[in-house]
Amino acid sequence: MIPTADISPTVPSPTPASFYPESDEITEEGFGGFRGTWFIGRAFVEDANVIVHAEGEMLDWLDRLASSAEEFESLAVALECADASLLSGSLHQRAVQSEFDQITRDEEFHPLAGLEIGVAGLTYALSVVGCLTAASCRSHATDHSWADCPVVLFAARAWRIELLVPLITLEGCGLQEARGMLVVYGQSVRDTHRLACRILAERARFRRKPDHGISSPRRPQGRRRSQLRLM
């Protein structure tokens, strides 16, 4: 099973604006004042495809093995660290018997480039189409998570945001403004992974600025149960 947050993602109208950092505001750690982050900049589509493919395999594996949010968390951390020894008891045995090493590729360079499952793909997909990513979190089944659902914080020019909105809406994800930048989020890592696949599949849309406005397709929205929380 894959945990699902008790929220109904929405895309506000008009779309919130996002600042775009100046070059002197960007360091090796990126921008936005986050700790433990690094600047990705413009990613190569080949790298993004590798990460999204690996992430999809990991999500399928987690969906099969995890029977609770707590097990999902333990298994996801072990995958992200490529270290089955972080698991204990029957969970370790199940992981090893389910080809843990094959999923993590057993390589020195981790297939998710050090990012978390479910937001690594979206971070790189956004970076491919010219958005600057600042931070991400898949949300955690602990009290130490700074987001209550999978999120990627980013900055982008207005015309790229205009092109992103229909894709975000189609995949059932949401968009809002927080901490002076944009936040794209989903109910689960399945949603954010699916959005990453959509962005990469339609990346040609982002090669030039549109000549006119783009309308977002309508999607039925359920009752909003809670607001996205960022610490």
Per-residue pLDDT of the chain (231 residues; tens, 9 = 90+): 999 999 999 998 888 777 888 888 898 988 887 878 888 999 999 999 999 999 999 999 999 999 999 999 999 999 999 899 999 999 999 999 999 988 887 555 577 999 999 999 999 999 999 999 999 999 987 766 678 999 999 999 999 999 999 999 999 999 999 888 999 999 999 999 999 999 999 999 998 777 655 544 333 333 333 445 554
How far is C-alpha 172 from the chain's CA centre?
14
Q: Where are the domains of the chain?
A: 47-104
Distance CA 206, CA 199 (A): 9
Structure pTM? Answer: 0.87
| β 174-178/181-185 pair status | antiparallel
Candidates 163, 174, 155; CA nearest to 18 is 155
Radius of gyration of the chain (CA): 17
Residue type, 7: I
Neighbours of 99 (CB within 10 A): 10
Q: Do 18 and 161 contact (CB within 8 A), yes or no?
A: yes
Q: Please report where in the chains the tokens 């690996």 appear, as a residue.
A: 54
Neighbours of 159 (CB within 10 A): 15
User: Within 13 Å of residue 28, how many CA atoms lie on the same side as its CB?
Assistant: 1
